Amino acid sequence: MIYGVSFVSICVVGVPSLLLLSAVRLIRWWSLAIVGAGIGFVMVRYMPAIHQMQVNMLSSAIGALCGVVFWTILELGNEPGEHDG
């Protein structure tokens, strides 16, 4: 079940966020960390029976880390000078 919920959140929030940030040339480590933290917070916030603040903070931190890792992968895949991030 969690994989399905994660997939939906990526499709509904992650992909549009990436496209929007790409359109305004704002793909930076911190912008993707903010998006990842937001997705992590929303995921835990709206899952039943998990509304503890520590869990929300932890999932936000994990989401932010995932955003930074995604940014790192994007940067490593770019040719020099291809991306100004």
pTM for the predicted model, two decimal places:
0.61
Contact assessment for residue 15 and residue 35, using Cβ atoms and an 8 Å cutoff: no
- The Cα–Cα gap between 56 and 11 comes to 21
> 9-40 pLDDT, tens per residue?
778 888 888 889 889 988 888 888 888 888 77
| Among 23, 66, 19, CA closest to 43 | 66
Q: Spell out the domain ranges in the chain.
A: 28-78
Contact assessment for residue 64 and residue 36, using Cβ atoms and an 8 Å cutoff: yes
**Residue range 37-44: average pLDDT?**
78
For residue 82, the Cα-to-chain-centroid distance in whole angstroms is 22
**Higher-confidence position of 80 and 41:** 41
> 58-82 pLDDT, tens per residue?
777 888 888 888 888 888 876 665 5
Contact assessment for residue 21 and residue 42, using Cβ atoms and an 8 Å cutoff: no
